[in-house]
Amino acid sequence: MNLLRSEIASTVASAPSLTLDSIGVPLNLDLTTLREALPMSPAEAPQRSLPKLSKRPKLAAQPAAERSFVNVFVEVFRDSGEGDEGEKATLDRIRAIARSAKNDVAAEDRAVLGNEVLVRRNFVSATIPIAALTDLEQDPGIAFVHPSQPLTFDEPIDHPALNGAPNPRGIGDSKLRAAHGDGDGVIIGLIDVGGFDFAHEDFRDAAGKTRFLSIWDQGGDFRKPPSANGASKFDYGSELTKPLMDAAIATEAAGKFPATMVERQSQRTEGSHATHVASIAAGNRGVCPKAEIAAVLISVPVLKDTLAERRATFSDSTRIVHAVEHLLEIARSKKKPISINISLGTNGGAHDGSSGVSRWLDALLSDPGRAVTVAAGNAGQEKGVNAEDLGFITGRVHSSGRIASRGLSVDLEWTVVGNGIEDLSENELEIWYGAQDRLTVMLKPPSAGADWIAVRPREFVENRRLPSGTTVSIYNELYHPTNGSNYAAIYLTPNLQPGSIRGVEAGVWRVRLVGDEIRNGRFNCWIERDDPVEIRSAGPVRLFRFPSFFSEVSNVDSHSISSLACGHRVISVANLDDARQRINVSSSQGPTRDDRSKPDIAAPGTDIIAAKGFTEDDKVWIGKTGTSMASPYVAGVVGLMLSANKDLTSAQCSGILQRTARPLPGASFEWRNDAGFGVIDPAAAIDEARTFNQRVEV
């Protein structure tokens, strides 16, 4: 089961030497686009969705579990009765489990899976065999095991017709540019997907060499991992160093192979997301044209990936932690400030900054000279702009409301697509409500005559197989360890058994929340969203990973911001349509579940022209639209702020951006759930960063 799950779940990986072919289930990946996958009009409402892997340890034990792995965040008790020695013993046990797991797989698998154990205070990130999760859960020295969260890649909208060279994005007059030096002395860190075209003209210095210091390809096996080069402790993936990239450029200049073929990456997508983002933040025509660039290529599956690549790699929130830790090590070694951009997201969790990855990043960002900018996400659209527009499918991810009193209820409509599509991914709906309240969670499948499944607080239904073949698990738990709130989780799992594979039952699944005891009554729900990817065709049926969504009546157009962008110290960015002076319809909205003001700021992210990576024609520039384009613009501005004042913290950078932002036409200085505190004013922010701590005695 876990081998099959690793085909479609980003939070599970299996040793690549053990293939599905060896157990008699050959799958051939034939990916197409979302629009090709929907032979219907929006009026026919796609009727089919799916569930994501139940990440609870109780679902762990499956055949071949010793060959299947998950990433977890583990909180260790600071005082288990034995003082520091007790904490050390617990950490040693976690390391031993991870080490044993690595030794139990073939040598060729170790470098791909990786299992570096990171420790920050009493918080641990580790790669663990699924079979070992029960032991961790029962360890008396462990407070809580946090599941990793799947990463989402909100692919921006391409505008191939926008292919002329962009105007330089240099900021400020000569006096201000002398103060920030166009980013000289700063590192721009990039965590992204699709491949970095280090040889593109937008990243060459005056001598024709690349401005990239390094690229850590987490899914690569073409070069040694960073630990072999002394760049960091991580022992998986491969690292391209500047000398290797410069040698490849010289080879290309000599009339031989293209540089990016000489030094390969596991992802090499024409018009790549990563290259475009890097160009905005730090290209020669970007915001920080004199900064050095360090990059991490996350192994997030995109439409051209193979099943083997998905099976053998993780694309979850622990990989973001590894990437940030690696980039900070580079900055420390160079003794330079760093501004890091993450144009990826997560959608699960409480959306209040309490997830493992958010807490880890907040701890890292307490130090000066470092900042992290995160795209708000592209889940803001609640309905189609025109008859052909299906953007609402990935936008209807949130619902909320208030149950007024005991005995009352609220119904939600959770849509799973069908009409020729079999959805083979796993889908998850998370419901978060206040500690004062008690709710019964009920689920009714789409089948005519299906019975309600009711789960009261402290009850659960686990792996219940329905007549349709869909497996349902529901948990209704009290007092989550990280935030004290109550939460329920519903998982819809397809039938992945060999010989009888069936997708999740298509139609509208009804979710009913019943008030057992109400003191507040407020609740929020999020769907853990999939990126649409076709797996293969089986006769007239197409097998997909596909996003489920709320119906129009159940969707609530707020709180759709990526949970990764809900951290306290990260800077979250909305997409400004600069030409129209309004927020793009697809830009995700706040606030956080605990009512904090996220996103922080809006920046240009619509019709943005930047480098076209790995181009197969003579066009080296391309236009794209998304919060992925807005976030690196802000990361570049923050880089200039750090160049002007290297002692700024990420929180101070956020405060300065908020203070200096300008309102959209017709708006006030108040925070808005789509625009944050307003539109970024780069020159004002840099000037404020340079001068705000110049005190005057009176």
- Indicate whether 171 pLDDT > 90: yes
Domain limits, CATH 3.40.50.200, in the chain: 157-218+271-380+561-661+672-691
Query: What is the Rg, in whole angstroms, of the alpha carbon atoms belonging to the chain?
Result: 24
Where is pLDDT greater, at 227 or 454? 454
**What is the spatial distance between Cα 696 and Cα 693, in angstroms, rounded to a whole number?**
9
**Mean pLDDT (whole number) for 101-121:** 65
The CATH number of 59-147, from 3.30.70, 1.10.287, 1.10.1740, 2.60.120, is 3.30.70
Nearest to 676 by CA among 585, 593, 583: 583
Confidence of residue 231 (pLDDT cuts 50, 70, 90): confident
Domain limits, CATH 3.30.70, in the chain: 59-147
E-strand spans in 138-182?
142-147, 157-159
pLDDT in tens, 181-194: 999 999 999 999 99
**What is the spatial distance between Cα 664 and Cα 677, in angstroms, rounded to a whole number?**
10
Sheet holding 471-477, edge to edge: 398-402, 522-528, 427-433, 486-493, 471-477, 460-465
Domain limits, CATH 2.60.120.1290, in the chain: 31-54+395-550
Q: Tell me how far CA of residue 619 lies from CA of 208, 209, 273, 278, in angstroms.
A: 19, 21, 16, 17
- Indicate whether 365 pLDDT > 50: yes
Regarding pTM above 0.85, the answer is yes
Q: 3-class DSSP state for residue 466?
A: coil
Neighbours of 220 (CB within 10 A): 23
Spatial contact of 579 and 606, defined as CB atoms under 8 Å apart: yes
Residues in the chain: 698
- For residue 663, say if its preceding peptide bond is cis, omega within 30 degrees of 0: no
| Domain 31-54+395-550 indexed as CATH 3.40.50.300 | no
Q: Tell me how far CA of residue 672 lies from CA of 58, 144, 558, in angstroms.
A: 41, 35, 11
Spatial contact of 419 and 45, defined as CB atoms under 8 Å apart: no
Q: 157-218+271-380+561-661+672-691, which class in CATH?
A: alpha beta
If you average pLDDT over every residue of the chain, what do you get?
A: 84
**What is the spatial distance between Cα 387 and Cα 4, in angstroms, rounded to a whole number?**
37
pLDDT in tens, 63-87: 444 567 788 888 888 764 444 567 7
Q: What is the DSSP string of 280-296?
A: HHHSTTSS-TTSEEEEE
